[in-house]
Amino acid sequence: MNNIYSVISNEKIAYKTYKMILYGDTSKIKAPGQFINIKIDNEKTFLRRPISICDYDSKTITIIYKVFGEGTKILSTKKMFDDLDILGPLGNGFAINKKAKKQMIIGGGVGIPPLYSVAKKLHEENIEFDVVLGYNSKVDVFFEGMFRALGANVYVTTMDGSCGYKGNVLNVIRSKNLYFDYYYACGPRKMLHALVKEDYTGQLSFEERMGCGFGACMGCSHPTTDDSYKRICKEGPVLESFEVVI
């Protein structure tokens, strides 16, 4: 679980957005939406950085991350053969709903990566699904084609309308009258909370600042509707829509 992974590649795929492929143990990955916690050796980045598993196979893990602060900036400078100390897989991940007929993947920005694994699973299971992907602007768009390649209808929307539709993901869902009876979502908290307020049912992946990433510090506790809580790193990051306290 505490392992050294080697960087195979680390390429820029959109504005400040990088795709990194890591070589190492993937045998413990159980579900799409799990994440890894990356140690970045620098005195300014004392804590690990949690990043979702976007895709994986028997030997590699793919992550997609946006340069946000110091840690992701350093991560973006890593090259082939550099080693990274990684804890993972962590968290629960998305559980594929095999009953709902028409499902929907709803991703915002760097919330999109973990949903790619969901899409692959839905595709494998022959479940019908559409995809709505929201970005800030044209320069931020990535992975649209990857979802199309799985045969899904992909609706791209940008806040400034520079690519696809204009507005947020809910705007598209409403204006296009997209029908679905279950969803998987990841993205900015605002987007997730807006979704929960609607009548849909589904699963949502949340972010919290983490001390440990494996359940030890109580840093990431998220209140749940049963007056209890879940640790985003352990019983999360994926919550059911009915659990979410807004």
Partner 1 sequence: MKLNVELPGMKLDNPIIPASGTFGFGYEFSEFYDINILGTLSFKGTTLEERFGNKTPRIAESTSGMLNAIGLQNPGVDAVISNELVKLKKVFNKKVIANIGGSYEEDYIEAVKRISKSDIVGAIELNISCPNVKEGGLLFGTNKESAAKLTRLIREVTDLPLYVKLSPNVTNIKEIALAVEEAGADAISMINTLVGMRIDLKTGKPVLANTYGGFSGPAIKPVALKMVHEVYSVVNIPIIGMGGIMNAYDVIEMMYAGASAVQVGTANLIDPYACKKIIEDLPRVMKELNINDLKEIVGRAHL
Ligand X SMILES: Cc1cc2nc3c(=O)[nH]c(=O)nc-3n(C[C@H](O)[C@H](O)[C@H](O)COP(=O)(O)OP(=O)(O)OC[C@H]3O[C@@H](n4cnc5c(N)ncnc54)[C@H](O)[C@@H]3O)c2cc1C
Ligand Y SMILES: Cc1cc2nc3c(=O)[nH]c(=O)nc-3n(C[C@H](O)[C@H](O)[C@H](O)COP(=O)(O)O)c2cc1C
Size, binding site for ligand Y by CB under 6 A: 2
Element (H, E) at 31: none
Interface pattern 181-220 for ligand Y (x via CB under 6 A): ------------------------------x-----x---
Q: Using CB distances below 5 to 8 A depending on partner kind, what does residue 1 bind out of ligand Y, ligand FES, partner 1, none?
A: partner 1
Q: CB under 8 A: which stretch of 105-113, 127-135, 165-173, 207-215 binds partner 1?
A: 207-215
CB of 101 to ligand X, least distance (A): 29
Buried b / exposed e across 134-155, counting CB within 10 Å, b at 16+? Answer: bbeeeebbbbbebbeebebebb
CB of 241 to ligand X, least distance (A): 18
Q: Where are the alpha helices (DSSP H) in 30-161?
A: 70-76, 113-124, 144-148
| 207 touching ligand X, by CB under 6 A | yes
Q: Select from 74, 52, 56, 77 the least CA-distant residue to 121.
A: 56
Cβ partners under 8 Å of residue 139, min gap 6: 14, 15, 162
Binding site for ligand X (CB under 6 A): 35, 45, 47, 49-52, 63-66, 68-72, 110, 113, 207-210, 237
